[in-house]
Amino acid sequence: MTVSGFIDESGKFRNHRIISIGCVAGFNQHVEDFAHEWGHLLQLNGLKDFHTNQALRHHVPLSKKVDALGVEKRTDALLPFIACIRKYLGMAIGCWVDVKAFNSLPRKFFRVFGSDPSYMAFVRTMMQVIDFTPERDGLVMVCDEDEETALEFYRLYRRVKKVLPGARNKLNAISFCDDKFVFGVQAADFMASMVRLDALARRDKKKQQYRRLFKALTAQPERHERIWFCGIAKGDKKALLKTAHDTIAQLKRQGKIK
């Protein structure tokens, strides 16, 4: 069987305090059912596609067909999209990174992950999807098309495939697409945005107005749902320092740095 993993980013490190990567993944036979229902939900709500930043703007109508004005009504309108993810896909994960903490890491760390925190988040996310993929099954990664990150994502994909035990046989392909045409990437965008909003609220100790959406997305699986894992990887100062020290130690063992 083949697993498809869809990845998108929320926030750019040059103008955001926190960036995040979101990913949803599932077996292909279930991904088709997910796409059918997601498309149906778009039609019901009068949407051509789903862009989370626009969908969360509760002070303007969701579409010409559906108003859903205000946080509570907008939350109610968007909950079926979360239910669709959890009903058909097996995994929903997110990784957020504190940009200031990332920039303070030892310079040696950037030899592997580069200067953009989204690259590290991408690797951590991809490794989680590799673990989700059963032995002898294949994994296809589908990423949102972004000129700034696409080439580096491909380079990191090749590096993980080369050095991570078991990844070579599982990683079958990586592609980049316009999220208007791939519902899985739209769902990954939803996941990334929810993770970033929650991380910002926790950092600033403020109320997260879409907390009900986040809780629905990350709730424990129920019997009627195919999702079996939903996790959040945090990239605060403590977690990033540990990652940096582990990475540098590994590079020293490999003789790549002194």
Map out the domains of the chain as residue ranges: 2-253
Residue type, 208: Q
Supply the pLDDT for residue 14. Answer: 65
* Separation CA 85–CA 87 (nearest Å): 6
Supply the pLDDT for residue 29. Answer: 92
Contacts of 243 (CB under 8 A, 6+ apart): 109, 120, 235
To the question of domain 2-253 being in CATH 3.60.10.10, the answer is no
Written as one string, the DSSP assignment of the chain is -EEEEEEEEES-TTT-SEEEEEEEEEEHHHHHHHHHHHHHHHHHTT-SS--HHHHT-TTS-SSSS----SHHHHHHHHHHHHHHHHHH-SEEEEEEEEHHHHHTS-GGGHHHH-S-HHHHHHHHHHHHHHHHSPTT-EEEEEEE--TTTHHHHHHHHHHHHHHSTTHHHHEEEEEEE-TTS-HHHHHHHHHHHHHHHHHHHHHHT---TTHHHHHHHHSPP-TT----EEEEEEE-HHHHHHHHHHHHHHHHHTTS--
Comparing C-alpha atoms, which of 6, 20, 91, 93 is closest to residue 53?
Answer: 20
* Separation CA 171–CA 96 (nearest Å): 23
Supply the pLDDT for residue 240. Answer: 85
Supply the pLDDT for residue 246. Answer: 72
* Separation CA 169–CA 139 (nearest Å): 9
Supply the pLDDT for residue 13. Answer: 65
User: Tokens in use for 28?
Assistant: 């292909």
User: Tokens in use for 130?
Assistant: 């590799």
* Separation CA 167–CA 61 (nearest Å): 44
Q: Are 7 and 185 in contact (CB under 8 A)?
A: yes
Residues of the chain with pLDDT under 70: 13-15, 247-258
Supply the pLDDT for residue 236. Answer: 86
